[in-house]
Each structure stands twice: as C-alpha cells, then as structure tokens.
Amino acid sequence: MDPLTGEALDAKLRELLAEDLGKGDVTSEWTVPAEARARGRLIARSACVVSGLPIARRTFALLDPELTWESEAAAGSSVPPRAALAALSGRARPLLAAERLALNLLQRMCAIATATRRYVEAVAGTGCRILDTRKTAPGLRAFDRMAVVDGGGTNHRHGLDDMVLIKDNHRRLAGGTARAVEAALRRAPAGMKVEVEVESEDDLREALGAGARMILIDNQTPETVAAWSRIAKGSPTPPFIEASGNMTLERVRAYALAGADAVSVGALTHSVAAADIALELETP
C-alpha cells in the first residue's frame, strides 16, 4: 500500500488540498494580481532530519505545473537551524494556496524523521532496529512511514491485512495463546509474518510450543525482557523478539541490550511536535 507515489500520491494530495481550498483562496485571489510571480525558500528554523520534500514539491506542482524547484536537501540528512531545504519559484497565487498543506506535511514528516533518528542513535551498536506502529494520523500513514524510514527506522506492518499480530484481546477471544497462534499459522499464506504478544512466561512458553517465530513482549521491564529472551532464544528455533510499551529515549537502549531484536515506538508518529519550517516568499 505504500510508499505513496504516482497517481495514488496525486489523488491523496488533491483530497488534502480540497479540504484546505474549498471554493478557492479568497485572500490571495483578492489581494495578489493574477499575473504575479514569486520566488522563495523553504527554511528549517530549527535543526531537523529532512523528510517529505518530494511530497511538498508535488503539492506545489499540482497547483502550478510550471513550478521551478531546485537545491533540494537530501532525505535523511541532518540540517542546522536556518538551513535552506529547497528553492522554488512560480505563480504567486498557486504557491500561496499550496503553502499550508505543503508545510503541514513537511513539518510533520521532518519531525517524525528527527524523532526516529534519535531513537536509532540511542540503540546504535546493539543490532536492534527501531520500528514504527499503526499509531499514525488517520489518512497520513503512508507519509508517516516514509518519514520513519528517512530517519533510519524500519516500518512494521502497514495495516491489518499484511501481517498477523495476535494481541491480548485476540488471545482471550480465541480461547488462549496456543489456539490463536495455531489458528493463524494454519490460515496465513506462505511468507506472511505471524507475531504474538505475550504478557507472562506461561504465555511465552505456550506461544513457542504452538510454533510462534515472532514474539512481542509488551509493557515489561528490561530485566523481564532479558529473562524471556533467554528462554525464547534457547528454543530449537529461536524467534524474533520485539519489545514495546511506552518507550522513551532514556529507556530504549536498555531494552536493546536486554536482547530485543527490535523495539517498536508509538511515539514516533502519535505525539511528535511539528518541526519549525517556513516558506519565505518574495517578488522575483
């Protein structure tokens, strides 16, 4: 389903533009001459990791197909305050009409990439990966996931149809951990991942006995993750271990050192503060 490109990207951006434009940008139409042109720069007012510039560019280009765009900063690069991310020029009215959506997406994506980079750096040297989650802004998941990758993280499942992730409610409603795992393994097509969340050592042993090859240890201490990881990795077919649950920068390395192959961090996408980025325009 992602990455979002081509016609699918254009359709999404047109949908988002329509939400903002309504019947038209009356302020620009009533104050800026129709023939006016403008040039400008996208400026990072604070340090950040770059993500989303191709999305911003396409947003402007949908309203001004003759847009000129240059000097784009590389995705995943770290830039200091006052860095120019890109230079652009075109018809003034379309640039003004597209400005807010382009900035909203760019600010969010740079914020996510920046947060992700901090977590990736926090576990550097451990071999542990940083994963995103489905805790994304509705309608913006593809953009959020692109930003995680730009920050050096790894995408978890996109949606409910591309991976099995058995959690506490599934286990209870299925009649137990083993039943849920066995049922999923019977139905899952070749190549589809099946992961099960465990909340106790008994759950862990039951999951391993049922054939689970991916284990999610949620809301446990690093010490518990270490103990359960030793049990899991001592089995005949050691499973992949993921840790999760209110992860912070201060705590994440402890989970990596405890034996987690990956740590999933909902905060990457559900609570980031937008990066401070501005569009500074002037007449040519």
Number of neighbours of residue 55 by Cβ within 10 angstroms = 21
Residue with the two structure tokens 């001592």: 234
SS3 at position 84: strand
- Check 218, 233, 251, 276 and give the catalytic one: 218
> Is 167 an annotated catalytic residue?
yes
Residue with the two structure tokens 């996109």: 158
CB 260 within 8 A of CB 240: no
- Check 25, 99, 195, 197 and give the catalytic one: 197
Longest dimension (CA), the chain: 73
> Is 218 an annotated catalytic residue?
yes
| Beta bridge partner(s), residue 130 | 263
What is the C-alpha to C-alpha distance for residues 252 and 98, in angstroms, rounded to an integer?
38
Structure tokens at 65: 């197909």
What is the C-alpha to C-alpha distance for residues 261 and 228, in angstroms, rounded to an integer?
13
Structure tokens at 78: 């770290």
Give the DSSP per-residue string, 233-259: HTSSSPPEEEEESS--HHHHHHHHHTT
What is the C-alpha to C-alpha distance for residues 176 and 169, in angstroms, rounded to an integer?
10
> Is 233 an annotated catalytic residue?
no
What is the C-alpha to C-alpha distance for residues 58 and 23, in angstroms, rounded to an integer?
21
- Check 41, 135, 157, 179 and give the catalytic one: 135
- Check 167, 179, 193, 251 and give the catalytic one: 167
Distance separating the N- and C-terminal Cα atoms of the chain: 40
C-alpha distances (whole Å) from 90 to each of 69, 101, 126, 278 are: 9, 17, 47, 17
- Check 14, 37, 39, 100 and give the catalytic one: 100
> Is 282 an annotated catalytic residue?
no
> Is 135 an annotated catalytic residue?
yes
- Catalytic residue numbers read 100, 135, 167, 197, 218
